[in-house]
Amino acid sequence: MSTLQTLDRGLRALDVVSRSPAGISVAELAKELGVHRAICYRIVATLEAHSLVARAADGRIRLGLGAAVLASRFEPHFMRGARPVLEELAERTRATAFIAAAEGDACVAVMVAEPREAVLRVGYRVGSRHPLTQGASGIAILAMRPESPRDPESVRRARRDGYCVTRGELQKGAVGVSAGIGVPADVEPGTVIERSVGVVSTEELDVEGAAAAVTRAARLLSQLVTG
């Protein structure tokens, strides 16, 4: 049975990108695929148009949020199990709870739960995005990556504490608390969608209690990921 060459190249490109923890340049990807760089640019542009890959600020290519969407359909167990964990977190902290995922240099909210009884709520909806280096959710994801000499103090502190706390970085008067969702120990960094779980609220948030609740939720969600 014959195959479609262009589709085959696109699928092979996705496989190569998924096995490149630090991202991969177009030149490197073209060499891996054995194609001219111009053809590789078109393959990448097509995958990028469907959010299957994303380009970082340095031009290197990583898996995109579209891959997370496909993975979520392939892993309904995680998505079904994550919703009650998130709702419980929202009720326990009386704050907006969320799961965020990395997409290139951005952090994107992919699931949100609101507490039933809350006088003040901080606006955070599915699809909200911000730089990975800004906000507790992104920093918590960076803290799950291998240690690097270039890591800012915020990432080092989050890695040391097991969670991250930020104040007023994304919205004035808002406090965010997040922890990274672990993946199986034998999985190479960068080959799975990187996620974090957290809450965001006003200055009245009990940060210590929220940190305990968030890290507990992260452990439960990690168990869903590892099966």
Q: Per-residue pLDDT tens for 137-195?
A: 999 999 998 888 999 999 999 999 999 999 988 888 889 999 999 876 655 555 567 89
pTM of the model: 0.67
Query: Is residue 110 within 8 Å of residue 100, measured between CB atoms?
Result: yes
Please state the domain extents for the chain: 5-63, 69-226
Task: Please name the amino acid found at residue 77.
Answer: H
Average model confidence (pLDDT) across the chain:
87
Residues facing 201 on adjacent strands = 175
The CATH homologous superfamily of the domain defined by 69-226: GAF domain (3.30.450.40)
**Does residue 92 have a pLDDT over 90?**
yes
Four-way CATH pick for 5-63: 1.10.10.10, 1.10.10.60, 3.30.70.260, 3.40.50.300: 1.10.10.10
Any idea what the Cα angle at residue 192 is, between residues 218 and 105, rounded to 5°?
85
Better-scored residue on pLDDT, 48 or 119: 48
**Does residue 91 have a pLDDT over 60?**
yes
Dihedral sign (CA 41, 109, 72, 224): positive
- State the pLDDT at residue 211: 97
Q: Per-residue pLDDT tens for 50-90?
A: 989 998 888 899 988 888 777 666 556 677 889 999 999 99
Q: For residue 113, how many C-alpha atoms fall within 13 Å in the half-sphere facing its CB?
A: 20
6-33 exposure pattern, b = at least 16 Cβ within 10 A, e = fewer: eeebbebbbebbbebeebbbbeebbebb
* CA distance linking residue 37 with residue 46, whole number of Å: 14
Q: Per-residue pLDDT tens for 97-112?
A: 999 988 888 898 888 9
